[in-house]
Structure 1
């Protein structure tokens, strides 16, 4: 096969070799090339020690990020490359990291410390592919398998369990049986890992092409009940309604797979119906209802995302989208759409509509989204025509009202809210002189 390695990466290997050292691309970049994917970045491993790497590249800009672990970042105009000394790990004592890292002159030491066979291959033009652990064979089998004993690999670093699930989901691979059983055996120890590291792997699973695969793997290994226990209540939860042909969990996974890989959208899809198990009521006809599950779900989602230490902006966006996801069933006229647009904003409104479409399509085989498509067109028209939907778009502001003789405070807000209502009803009123006349007719000026 042809190894299309960028010139700026080859340049680093060539320079190492010219100075008497070896250099290989390693890990994910080798894996991706073998399966025909474009590597997102390139890492190089070498027998040169960190100080020796710096000496070789003294004419380049280098960064000492991770130097104590053997990594020197070489900066070139075309891109940055991490160059790392061959390493062997000392004893793992806490299920997170080795007590010590030893530098080595043997590439086998470096490859044997890696997590999965598909990530333990190296390559350069002279040596060709170095594959001591049959990673290429596992790529052909489309399976995730640990390097060596899976129990030993996972007990060294429990985050590797989440990484196994993530790689299986990203690559649409299976997990080799002994590796899978070890995932189940050690999943309870995942909380030994910082929540930030867990969150990053979890979010990567959500952004996969078919994220439901990763969520199912999390459920089957016991990881979901630890990382996201709230969602376990939705598994096999009967909705008792003719409007849904799936249980809540299966509906959630369908919505998840039918949304674009945008983090806030995927998180909302995963959590949008998480309030349903807490709000089910059955009427006299045996039909299930979930009154206020949107509001309950928004609060649960906020709690989950705070636990995951997500950003405040992400928490706010996801909570709002869940809180408003049932507006798809409201018969909103022009005024109602403008109110919704004012609440959501011009970006979030379309995220909400994407969620609404997926939510509707995943309810039952007869679902129709024509009304949502029409709603989207109306909202686009409102925006394109620059129609007023919030106070800051009025041709008059608080300072103008104060100049008319009204005192600062609640009165100003009351006046502007009233004007907005009038303009929402009749857009032609958004003229400064007309609005001043309305103020004079409706409100008494302060003395």
Structure 2
């Protein structure tokens, strides 16, 4: 059997998506620096973070890119079932490998696992399996997994809009979410962390959400139009309710995250002639204004400083805009290669850092040499996880999606396949 390519990149791929890969590569490097600076560059971190929140910069760039790509992948094929098939095999294999590695390191005593506040193993496992754990009152095994909870919420909302035929309204949805974020700050709407979990209990909420999510995905993937609409609305309603009432980041920031992703979708629609650039520009201006206003009104908090968040957010939007403007230019192969392995970089680096923190400890003074050495170890490791975990997962997902499409074709046109 022929081995999968280490970093697959055809000329067509580079010309069409090279700028997006470059953005992902940059975002991944910035997020890794943010987390590794705790260990290797503590002095620089203390000076930099109040002025520029590198973590928020990286994840906002990631969210803009996801918003640009994800709905297009659903609408290009027009099939919810194959969309979920490809998404599951794209996201879960590496996620499962990283979580398994972390658990193994925890059970052997090499790293210390997070405290789950007395939650049972089954509860924690089910919450993580939905990938909505951060919105279900269960702390993530790895800190970076919290962003995947918002990513999964976005998937559910995208499917919901597609099933009710409102998916073309991306700009309006983006502005509405950003406006709701600003209004929540103006009204002083500050809910307790995981408010729903506190009201009904973490266990019952996880049980309900996991069942509702499974039903939503199955129904939205069904052949009946009525079931598709029911499943889409159920999944989208679940995602929105969790973001509104059970998030672990401030309410306004959770809404801004969703608004940013739908803004990425609005840009994609403008580029492909499904809407106008005027609509996308107006949406961008309103989302930026609402996001900055929300951050300014919320004030300085424990998890970020006002200035650091605003600077990071604005730079993320400008970075995406610069990538969009230069999208027809040739992108250096280094950046596209980093973008190709960015998911591995994002998920693998916290495990490596956990091992280093538990064995060597954190530095009290900056050490640029150790910071560089960390990247030198991380990137080859991520090439391997991409090659042997991500690529096979994508291949399986594409194969499963093809089989699903073939089965649907046979069911719709049984006569044409009678002699097959």
What band does the TM-score fall into relative to the shorter chain?
Answer: under 0.3
Which of the pair has more CA radius of gyration? 1
The one of the two structures with greater contact order (alpha-carbon pairs below 8 A, sep at least 6) is 2
User: So what's the TM-score if we normalise by structure 1?
Assistant: 0.20
User: So what's the TM-score if we normalise by structure 2?
Assistant: 0.21
